[in-house]
Structure 1
Amino acid sequence: PADFRERIAAHLEAGRRDAAVKLFLRVVGVPGFGVFMMRLFPNIWPKLRAAAHTLPYDFGVMGDTQRGEALPEEWLALLARISGRSKVLVGGKSPDWMRHTCETVAAKVSGASLGVIPGQTHTISAKALAPVLCDEFLGGAHG
C-alpha cells in the first residue's frame, strides 16, 4: 500500500507492534504464509516484535528502495565515489529486488564484488555467513 509508512507509524504509536511488523514484512515481500510461520517460531517473532520501533528508521534511510524501485540516481552517484575492496553479500533465496539492488551496488562501487550465499534469505544464518567472511578476510585460510 502507498501509505505503508503512515500505517506502520500509526500501529507503533498505538502500541500494535505485531501489526507493524506484519505490515512491514508484507511490504518487503514476505508472503502471508511466511509471516504466519514466523509468528510460530519463538526465536524469531519476539526479536522482530522487540525491534518494531526501529522500522521507521529503515524507511528514513532506505526511502522507497525497499519496494523494488531502482536506486535513485543520487545514490548511484554516491556509490560510484566509493572505492576499495568490498564484498556485497546477498542470500540466494532473497527476493529479486534485494538481489538486483546488491548487484547494482557491487557494480557501482569500485573494487566491490558480489557474493551470493546459496540457500539463504535476507536473514543469513551465522553458520552460512562465517565461511564466506573467512574466505573474504583470510583468503580461504580457515579450517
Structure 2
Amino acid sequence: MSSAPIKKRKLYDRLEEVSGYRIMDMKKFSAALLEIHVCKDGYLQIMEDTDAQKGLCCKFYLVCSKCLTGVPFRSSSLVAHDRSYDVNHRMTTAAAKIGIGRQSLTDLCYMMNMPGAPPVTESNCSTQP
C-alpha cells in the first residue's frame, strides 16, 4: 500500500462518504492508517468506492482533505485458494453452520444497514458444506 494523490477527479467524484455499518478486518484498516498523512490544514476523510464492492467486502480510501492524497484498502483479505473475500466466505460458512439461507443473510444486512446485501450469490449458499 502506498499513498498517492487521487489525481483522477472522476475517481474522487465517485467516492462517497461512509455511513452505516461494515465488517472490517482491523489489520487492513490499521495498515492503511499507518500509510496516510494529513496536511496541516487538512483532515482525514474515509471515503468508499461503492462501485468496487464485492458482497460484504468494501473498498475504502483514507483521504487527506487538503491534498487529496489517498490510501486505498479493502475491508477484507482475499482467500488464496478461490480468490473470494474472506468476509464473504466466513459469512456463507457461518450461515450454513447455523442453518440459515441467503434470504436470512440479506435480511441481516438490511437490518444492520450494511451495503452488499446479499453478501453471497445463490450458488455459493447452496454449495457450502
Q: Could you state the TM-score of these two structures normalised by the residue count of structure 1?
A: 0.23
Q: Which of 1 and 2 has higher RCO (CA within 8 Å, sep 6+)?
A: 2
Q: Which has the higher helix share?
A: 1
Structure with the largest fraction of strand: 2
Q: Max radius of gyration: which structure?
A: 1
TM-score, normalization by structure 2 = 0.25
